Chain A
Amino acid sequence: MTLVIDRRSELGDGPGCHALVVGVSAYRHLANGAAPAAETFGLGQLKGPVPAARRLVTWLEDNGGRLDPPLATCRLLLSPLPEQTEHLEVAEAATLENLLAAASAWRSDASRRTSNSTLFFFSGHGFQQDKLPVLLCTDFLASDAGDHHRAVDVDSLWYGMAPTASRSQIAGTQLYFIDACRERLERLETLTDRSPTPAFPPELPIDDPRAAPIFYAAVPKSRAFSFKDGSGTLFGDALIYCLNHAAEQPLHGSFLGHWPVTIHSLARGLEDWVEKLEEDHGADQTFVLGGQNRQRPLFELPGPPDVAVRLSLSPNGSSQAAIEISDWMGSGSVFSQDPWLDHPRNERWPAGLYKLRCRFSPDAFLPVDEPRMILPVRQRLRVGDP
């Protein structure tokens, strides 16, 4: 069972979004796997990727109708650990064979019209081989793998989804989310001449106007992280958060109206939120954007998203300060304290414009009604003592 969401009949001839989601926690031939290889290159089992993939599928189930175009299909491959019982038998295993088959069907669906869109998400082990980002399937290092080590290189996937003479109508918007490490495994390169498998046979593209960003969880030479409690991955969490919050301010109309989530707002949001989670959890992970990144709206949030605001006073030791922050449109105060003692403090306010009034002596509020913009996904508001 690979196709876990299929709304093609509902959508009829209209455009749709086709998703392929892969989560690999169990690696049979890596350390602590069912049949570990003699050399596992320091790689073992992972708790986070399968929950991360499931959370994305749940988000797609709940929000797929809001996507532009709406979600048509979602294919899912999962390789959970034995103890991840809630994820067992939900989907087919993320073997190389299954991944290639799912990718082929996914591309076939996507190729029917340029107004289609696609989403690819992979969470699991990865590394850089010959500078190419490589994604490891659950059967990586299988002894019968021949010249290939049961892994797929990202470039072959991305190039394979480009418009060609035989697929000139392929989806014009394609999102790739790669939640995997990108370290170089030098010992692997030394010990074996095995190479990754191309996701698709290479073919020369024609004119390629795709909006096709690749959202990498990690820059080359670095790692991506899972949460120790097995609840997911840092990038997976950031992605769900940004899908719900990383919107742009409306170009026209009220700030209280719809806020679009776009390729550019998602990129900026992931940059910010991965950094925040990195700080919160002490990880060393840096998001980076690749591919072709022309702007494209993806869907709209019904109103201004909440923004994580860090409110601080400079210098931190000021003792006479008082503060009042209220909504610009006059709907009331969101924060007020006199004297302001507990700073810095973290707040969550809807994105928009606010009036800031602060006082540094008992005499008066200064400055009066200073406007401050608060925009997704997080904002630092420093209030300075003049």
Chain B
Amino acid sequence: MPKLEFRLIAPDDLSDLDLPLEIRTQELTLVARVHASQEVDLPTGDYLVSARLPGGESRLEQVSLGPEGTVCEFQLAAARPERTRVEDDAAGLRSEVLRSGRERPAVPRMNRLATSVLESVGPPGRWLERGFYQWRGPRLRLLEGDLLTGTTESASVDFLNVLSGQRGQRVEVRVDGGQGVRWLQLETLQKPLLTLAIPAAAGSSATAVVQRIAAGRFTVDLHPQQPEADLLLGYWQAGAPADVLAICESRCLDFERLIDTERPDLAAIVLYARLRFGDTSSFDRLAEWSVRLSEAFSWLPDGNAIRGEVAARRGDHSTAVTAFLRLARSGLPIVSEGLFMTVRRLRFYASLGAASPGDGNAVKDSIARLTPFVQAAEPRRLLLTLEHSEAVAGDRGESLSRTFGPAGVPSQVLDLRPWFAIKAQGGR
């Protein structure tokens, strides 16, 4: 039978995107589900090839498959309806394609309680010099280390490089991964300090997109370098479980491949997705993978969160509690899900009292260590995002202040104020 292949018409870094595709006959009967990197044998005839993007938009192409086979050119970004808008905004093209339909601000829209917390924070630290007051712009700082114990170090600003931007609107910054978990901090005048886990390992990078969302307010989104992982997060953020599972099947997100290429961060994201949305028939594989992830990459706490949750679901609570306690000693996971599921399970074990499968005191201590970070975590974000103002309001405010850095003049910051300093030169 002739082969149908696919070629994406997309921006350079997305042309190899392994997009999930559906192929239907002209009568709309589904004949195949594939990824863009695959080819499929089909009888000659006319077909419709479709894909759904995180924003909910469907892309669809007609193709005639002749006896010699055909390459279906699939328009991804430069499709006719968006052509004008996309061409005018080349810098934002990638995130335009992959983003979810719903904008989720890093600083949540404030309800009355959150507002009262913000007001209690008071004036900014003394490092905010006069110019910063005038420009109200954001600055980025890079940390590496363990937020749980406060043993973080400020990483060199060399690991932050501006890629592109639209003056006054948005800046894209490349953030390089390191030997341990790295954290990006967004500092803005009189706004909560945001600390975000970076989905990158040594030798890879992520892209931080900093945008102005209102006067004096900025948001930052982190995108993994690999487009399939970025697409997965986009589908998940958009609340599209079926699409999440479809992209998990991409060869680019194959667990073995990610481990071989030293991308345990992305492997963890895929395992979280499978754990959340996948079928229980895959749990044996998940169990094996989570053990390998936690043992081969002990610097990444997510392996223990996944290992614990898989074990708990299989009724192996002794293994589960051991893994969760190990996480509470090793550091914060990069995916919010890992933190939330760990604390949720530990709380349940604590509620069992004497029947708890682990050391009751260790369980309680771990809950106490992790809870302030759960309270600081932004629940709308998949990648762990901590909001400092709430953290300092918690019981462990003093130690958390150390964790997030003192109010001294930071030596290593990427100053984005010039990018956003359009009107504010004259004063506050």
Contact = CB atoms under 8 A, between A and B. Distances in A.
A joins B in a complex: yes
Given A272-B56, A328-B28, 19 more contacts: A131-B371, A131-B375, A159-B348, A202-B352, A204-B355, A222-B108, A222-B111, A248-B242, A275-B102, A295-B277, A314-B81, A314-B84, A379-B56, A382-B82, A384-B80, A384-B84, A384-B85, A386-B80, A386-B84
Contact of B241 (A131, A264, A383): A264
B260 interface: no
B83 A386 contact: yes
Contacts of A370: 80
Given A221-B114, A353-B48, A373 B58 contact: yes
Interface residues of A, number: 68
A384 to B, nearest CB: 4
Contact of A380 (B57, B80, B344, B371): B57
A207 B315 contact: yes
Contacts of A33: none
Given A202-B351, A328-B28, A315 B84 contact: yes
A253 B344 CA distance: 42
Q: Which of A186, A292, A371, A373 is the most central at the interface, judged by chain B CB atoms within 10 Å of its CB?
A: A373
Interface of B: 27-30, 48, 50, 52, 56-58, 60, 62, 80-85, 102, 108-109, 111, 113-114, 238-242, 245, 276-280, 283, 312-315, 317, 343-344, 347-348, 351-352, 355, 357, 371, 374-375, 379-380
B284 to A, nearest CB: 12
Top 5 A-B residue pairs of the complex, sorted by shortest distance between their CB atoms: A271-B239, A384-B81, A373-B58, A209-B280, A264-B241
Given A131-B371, A223-B111, A204 B357 contact: yes
A223 to B, nearest CB: 6
A215 B29 CA distance: 32
A267 B239 contact: yes
B47 to A, nearest CB: 11
A155 B348 CA distance: 8
Interface string A270-291: 1110010000000010111100
A334 interface: no
Nearest to A293: B277
A204 B348 CA distance: 9
A268 B84 contact: no
A305 to B, nearest CB: 15
A147 to B, nearest CB: 14
Given A293-B277, A372-B60, A373-B50, A183 B27 contact: no
Contacts of B108: 221-222
Contacts of A378: 56
A371 B28 contact: no
Interface of A: 130-132, 155-156, 159, 183-184, 186, 198, 202-209, 219-223, 248, 250-255, 263-265, 267-268, 270-272, 275, 284, 286-289, 292-295, 314-315, 328-329, 352-353, 367, 370-373, 375, 378-380, 382-386
Nearest to B33: A251
B32 to A, nearest CB: 11
Contact of A204 (B80, B317, B344): B317
A176 B377 CA distance: 24
Nearest to B341: A290
A271 B238 contact: yes
Given A155-B344, A353-B28, A386-B80, A264 B277 contact: yes
A294 B278 contact: yes
Of A248, A375, A384, most buried by chain B (CB within 10 Å of CB) is: A384
Contacts of B380: 219, 286, 288
A336 to B, nearest CB: 19
Nearest to A202: B351
B313 A130 contact: no
B28 A254 contact: yes
B169 to A, nearest CB: 19
Contact of A253 (B29, B102, B313): B29
Contact of A186 (B27, B113, B278, B348): B113
Contacts of A379: 56, 58
Given A131-B343, A223-B111, A373-B60, A268 B83 contact: no
A268 B54 CA distance: 11
A156 B350 CA distance: 12
Contacts of A186: 113
A206 B279 CA distance: 17
Nearest to A42: B112
B60 A220 contact: no
Q: Which of the listed residues A131, A255, A382 has the most CB atoms from chain B within 10 Å of its own CB?
A: A131
Contact of A155 (B28, B238, B347): B347
A208 B241 contact: no
Contacts of B82: 382, 384
B111 to A, nearest CB: 6
A204 to B, nearest CB: 6
Contacts of B348: 155, 159, 202
Contact of A254 (B27, B84, B343): B27
Contacts of B313: 207-209, 292
Given A353-B28, A371-B48, A221 B379 contact: yes
B242 to A, nearest CB: 5
B242 A219 contact: no
A353 B85 CA distance: 25
